[in-house]
Amino acid sequence: MRILRGDAADLAGLLRPLGITRACAVVSGLPLLAMRDTVRDRIVEESFALLEPGAPFIQFTYGLASPIPRRKLAWRAR
């Protein structure tokens, strides 16, 4: 396992030097509920830009509902 320390809002920039431009999954324990909308949206957008079509974005959250407002969900979510 390789661990990178950096800002998830610049996920593509963190991974590019390693030659990683695609991902088969994103698993997040980031506190999306506590973030400003703009930061949260940036992290989610960066993640989906890396993900293959149909690949999962898995978010662990303490909230009972998605930390990403439903109106923003342009993808299938559960």
Ligand X SMILES: C[S@@+](CC[C@H](N)C(=O)[O-])C[C@H]1O[C@@H](n2cnc3c(N)ncnc32)[C@H](O)[C@@H]1O
Closer to ligand X at the Cβ: 60 or 75? 60
Q: Does 53 bind ligand X (CB under 6 A)?
A: no
Among residues 14 and 51, whose Cβ is nearest to ligand X? 14
Measure the CA–CA gap between 11 and 46, rounded to whole angstroms. Answer: 6
Supply φ then ψ for residue 33, to 5 degrees: -65, -30
- Give yes or no for residue 19 binding ligand X (CB under 6 A): no
Closest approach, Cβ 53 to ligand X, in A, equals 25
Q: Could you tell me if 40 and 32 are in contact, meaning their C-beta atoms sit under 8 angstroms apart?
A: yes
Q: Which stretch binds ligand X (CB under 6 A): 15-23, 24-32, 45-53, 65-73?
A: 24-32
Q: Does 13 bind ligand X (CB under 6 A)?
A: no
Quick one: 62 or 76, whose CB is closer to ligand X?
62
Ranges assigned E (strand) in the chain: 26-28, 57-59
Which of 3, 6, 14, 5 lies closest to 49, judged by CA?
14
